[in-house]
Amino acid sequence: MRSLLYLVAIIVIGSSCSTIKSTSAPTTSPTSHAEKKASSPAFLENITIKPVNGKETVEAAPLKKESSTGSGSTGDKASIEYVSPTLLKYAILMNAPVEELNNEKLITFIDEWYGTKYRLGGDDKNGVDCSAFVQSFMLSLYGLAVPRTSREQYTESRRIKKANLSEGDLVFFHTRGKSKSVSHVGVYLRNNKFIHASSSGGVMISDLDEEYFRQRYVASGRYKE
C-alpha cells in the first residue's frame, strides 16, 4: 500500500512540474511585439532613436527595393543605416531627407557654430554678429573672402532672384525700424531655410517665409560661381 501511494505521489509531482514548466515559459505574440515596436519615438518617416552601448543612436530603415523577381525588399539587418543624432537634427531643421545631407563639411561647420551667442562686433565662438558669421561661413566652406559688413556684402555681391537661391547664397534684410537699408545678412541653405547670427537667438536656422523675415527681406546675392 505504501509503495502504491509513493508511486501515485511521483506521478502527481511529475505531472505538476510539467505543468509549471509549460505555463511559466515566456511567450511572445505578434500583438505584444507590435505594441513594443510602436512605442519607439519616430521623428521622421522610418527613423527611430534606439539606445546602443549606452548612447542614443538613430536608426533609419532602408527604402524598399525591387528584387530581381520584381517583388520583395532588402529588409535584412545588414542594410539598415545608422544616422547620427546630429545629422537628424539638421535634417529636421532644414526640412530635408537625411540621405540628402551628404555635405559633411557643411554640417560640421553649422554644428560647431550653432547656438553661438550674438555679439555686435564679435567674430568668434565667444560671440559673433551676422556679417562676421557670414564671413567665416564663406571662407571656411568656399574659400571666398567677403567684406566685413552686411551692407558691403550686399553691395559687392551679384543680385539673384529669390526663386533662384541655392546653398551658399546670401539673403539680406532691413531690421532697423523704417530704414530700408540692409542691416542683416544670412546664408541660404535649402528649402527656404537660411542660417544667420540673430541678435535674439544667436546662430540659428530660420525660414524666409517667417513673417518677420518675409516683411524685411531686401534681396539675395551671390559670390560663389
Distance from chain centroid for Cα 158: 31
Q: Which residue in the list 17, 33, 130, 174 is annotated as catalytic?
A: 130
Question: Which of 30, 48, 26 minimizes the C-alpha distance to 39?
Answer: 48
* Cα(205)–Cα(210) distance, integer angstroms: 11
Grid cell of 180 as nine digits? 530700408
* Cα(188)–Cα(165) distance, integer angstroms: 7
- Tell me if residue 17 is catalytic: no
Phi-psi region of 115 (alpha: psi -120 to 50; beta: other; left: phi over 0): left
Give yes or no for a contact between 147 and 153, defined as CB atoms under 8 angstroms apart.
yes
- Tell me if residue 174 is catalytic: no
Q: Which residue in the list 17, 33, 174, 184 is annotated as catalytic?
A: 184
* Cα(66)–Cα(122) distance, integer angstroms: 54
Give yes or no for a contact between 27 and 36, defined as CB atoms under 8 angstroms apart.
no
Q: Which amino acid is at 30?
A: P
Q: Which residue in the list 17, 33, 174, 196 is annotated as catalytic?
A: 196
Is the Cα dihedral 147, 149, 154, 155 positive or negative?
negative
Cite the active site residues. 130, 184, 196
